[in-house]
Each structure stands twice: as structure tokens, then as C-alpha cells.
Amino acid sequence: MDIKERINELKARKNAVILAHYYTPFEVQAVADYVGDSFYLARIAKSSSADIIVFCGVKFIVESAKILNPDKKVLMPDVTADCPMAHMADLKKIKEMREKYPDLAVVCYINSTAELKCHSDVCVTSSNAVKIVKSLPNKNIFFIPDKNLGRFVAEQVPEKNVLLNDGFCPVHAAVSKNEVLDAKKKYPDAKVLSHPECEKEILDISDFIGSTSDIISFASNSEAERFIICTEDGIEFELGTSMKDKSFLFPATRPCCKDMKLNTLEKLLYVLETEENEITVDDEIRERALLPLEKMLELGRSK
Ligand code: 13P
Ligand code: SF4
């Protein structure tokens, strides 16, 4: 049996399901039962009837799956896969902001630690942040941890006072404007599609801004045939397999998240075999972090 056959045999025998983010290696996405962006994967994790969830992503996404599914065994191929941005907010600042603005809603991008979620009112992902912030009754919003997504949301919801935090995604923030303009010079017909975690100077020269799944839908529904993609390069697997007649280019320095890429096929097989790398969340943290996650699922339901 080759590695894929062994994964499929173990999956069936153990009633396990494999979830993978669009940024994981191509071969991992190819064996996964569900591939998607953070919001889609959170919803799948919540509704899964499998006994074991093997989640190929980074710690904050996998932790969220465990918080939503306390009775399931949730495994991670590599427990060191962590998102640096998830740690880029602090509790002291949240406390100060709450004191300064009594009506404050702390809106927490799902790319954050469970501890930060415990101190937040609602979670969001890049695919539902605008909709959820719009639906909140609060005027003052403290958006943590990503300043770039926060600024993008603020522009879409001018009726709110969105206060920004200083966090950022090192992968998206490194996308170079000159490299995007070079690609555009070479292919003037190409549409620039960007993730809102990119810096403002990239969003300002983009034809479309959206989450990974929104980028895929936009490309699929567009008349254009060529696209310059400003997000993590794992998305190329879905773009390339579902739209063979279109071409997808990346800036010369391809955005690549080394943490997402820690999810290899070999490690996936290993955790399915051994059931090691189980993710646990302390009960008190789980109960508190569940509230903003459930609120997100409720407010984001119609999408
Ligand atoms: P989405 O999956 O919401 O597009 O977020 C991108 C991301 O950086 C996940 O790590
Ligand atoms: Fe974190 Fe950025 Fe990697 Fe997503 S792409 S996991 S936000 S470092």
C-alpha cells in the first residue's frame, strides 16, 4: 500500500475525518475530506460526526475545532505549527480599551490564541468580518490582532469606530508592491486578487479583496483568464485543479506560510496510526472561548 492508501484505510477503520486549510501542501489537500478557509473548516468541525478529526492547519484553527467539539479526539500532524499573528495582542491593552470605551465590542479574528478569545465578545474570519462587525449594536470596536484586516473592515463599515491593534500576518504583510506591479506590467490583462491580511498599498492596487474562498469564487465567476494572486501559495492547488482553463500567477517572492507547510503527508499518516498529538484545551478556557466562537457561527450563519 502506498501512503495515500494507508491514510484512507486508517481513516475508514477509525471513523476519522481529515480537514485541511487551503495553505497546506498540495498532497495534503488532495487526501483531505474537506479543504477550505478558516470559517468553512470551523463549521465543518462543529457539524462532524467522526470520532477523530485530523486537522491540518495551525494551532489556533485546530484549537477552535477542539473548543467546538470537546468530546472528539482532535489531532494535529505537527503541534509546532503555530501562527505568529495569533499572539500579537495583549490582555492589558484589551482591559485598557474596555475602560476607555464602556460600550466596546472586542472583535477577535479567529487567528488568535484561545486565551485572547476568552477576553473577546465575538470571533470573525476574513470571510465574515465585515458582515459581523456591521451586525453588532456597539459603535466602538476593538479589532484584534490583525491591523490589516481591521483597517479593511473599518473602511467597509464607516458607521463604526474601529480601533486597530498592532498585529499582522508576516506572510501577507511581506507581499511586495513592486513585485505585484512587475507581474501586472508583464500581464496587463491580469486581475489582482488579494487577501485582506495584505498591507493597504497592496489592497489599493487590487481588483478584488477577499478571504481565500472568496478569491476562489471570484476567479471562478470572472470573465478574466489570468490572475495575480496575493495570498499564500497553497491556494494554487484549488485554483489550478478547479479552473484548468485559467492561469494564476504569484508575486516573484511567492507568499508561503512555513507553519501551514509543516503539515506533511508523512506526519498525517503518523498521527492517524498512533493517535498522538492530541489537542486539549483547559475546561475553563474552553467554556469562555466557546462563547465568541458560537456567536460567530450564529451571526455568520447565512453566508
Ligand atoms: P482565511 O482562511 O480566513 O482566508 O484566513 C487566512 C489565513 O491566514 C489563515 O491562516
Ligand atoms: Fe498565520 Fe499568516 Fe500563516 Fe495564516 S498565513 S497561519 S495568518 S502566519
Residues 161, 166, 169, CA angle at the centre, nearest 5°? Answer: 115
Tally the C-alpha atoms within 13 A of residue 222's C-alpha that lie toward its C-beta: 23
SS3 162: strand
Residue 47: what pLDDT?
87
Domain of residue 220 covers 175-249
Question: Do the Cβ atoms of 31 and 23 come closer than 8 Å?
Answer: no
Residues in contact with ligand 1 by the CB-under-6-Å rule are 37-38, 83, 111, 125-127, 169, 197, 211-212
User: Rounded to the nearest whole angstrom, what is the distance from the C-alpha of residue 50 to the centroid of ligand 1?
Assistant: 24
| Same domain assignment for residues 224 and 163 | no
| Same domain assignment for residues 100 and 226 | no
Enclosing H/E stretch for 106:
strand 105-109
Residue 220: what pLDDT?
98
Question: Do the Cβ atoms of 301 and 129 come closer than 8 Å?
Answer: no
- Determine which residue's CA is closest to atom 3 belonging to ligand 2: 257
Residue 303: what pLDDT?
43
Count CB-CB contacts under 10 A for residue 154.
19
pLDDT 10s digit of each residue in the chain, 303 long? 899 999 999 999 999 999 999 999 999 999 999 999 888 898 898 888 899 999 999 998 899 989 998 988 999 999 999 999 999 999 999 999 999 999 999 999 999 999 999 999 999 999 999 999 999 999 999 999 999 999 999 999 999 999 999 999 999 999 999 999 999 999 999 999 999 999 999 999 999 999 999 999 999 999 999 999 999 999 999 999 999 999 999 999 999 999 999 999 999 999 999 999 999 999 999 999 999 999 999 998 754
- Determine which residue's CA is closest to atom 9 belonging to ligand 1: 38
In a domain, 235, yes or no: yes
DSSP 85: G
SS3 217: helix
Which ligand is located closest to the Cα atom of residue 21? Answer: 1
Question: Do the Cβ atoms of 29 and 238 come closer than 8 Å?
Answer: yes
| Same domain assignment for residues 179 and 132 | no
- Determine which residue's CA is closest to atom 7 belonging to ligand 2: 169
- How far is CA 286 from its chain centroid? 20
| Same domain assignment for residues 213 and 240 | yes
In a domain, 199, yes or no: yes
| Same domain assignment for residues 199 and 215 | yes
| Same domain assignment for residues 99 and 244 | no
The packing angle between helices 59-68 and 38-47, to 10°, is 30
Residue 302: what pLDDT?
55
In a domain, 276, yes or no: yes
In a domain, 255, yes or no: no
Q: How many domains does the chain have?
A: 3
Amino acid at 43: R
- The CATH number linked to 76 is 3.40.50.10800
- Shortest-distance atom of ligand 2 to CA 197: 7
| Same domain assignment for residues 201 and 219 | yes
Residue 198: what pLDDT?
98
- Shortest-distance atom of ligand 1 to CA 57: 10
SS3 107: strand
In a domain, 194, yes or no: yes
User: Rounded to the nearest whole angstrom, what is the distance from the C-alpha of residue 56 to the centroid of ligand 2?
Assistant: 13
| Same domain assignment for residues 105 and 150 | yes
User: Is the link from the previous residue into 145 a cis peptide, with omega within 30 of 0?
Assistant: yes
| Same domain assignment for residues 89 and 158 | yes
In a domain, 203, yes or no: yes
pTM of the shown model: 0.94
User: Rounded to the nearest whole angstrom, what is the distance from the C-alpha of residue 184 to the centroid of ligand 1?
Assistant: 24
In a domain, 193, yes or no: yes
Question: Do the Cβ atoms of 34 and 20 come closer than 8 Å?
Answer: yes
In a domain, 254, yes or no: no
| Same domain assignment for residues 70 and 206 | no
Pick from 128, 82, 76, 92: nearest CA to 107:
128
Query: What ranges in 32-176 are assigned the alpha helix state H?
Result: 38-47, 59-68, 91-100, 114-118, 129-135, 147-156, 170-173
| Same domain assignment for residues 149 and 180 | no
DSSP 87: G
| Same domain assignment for residues 156 and 211 | no
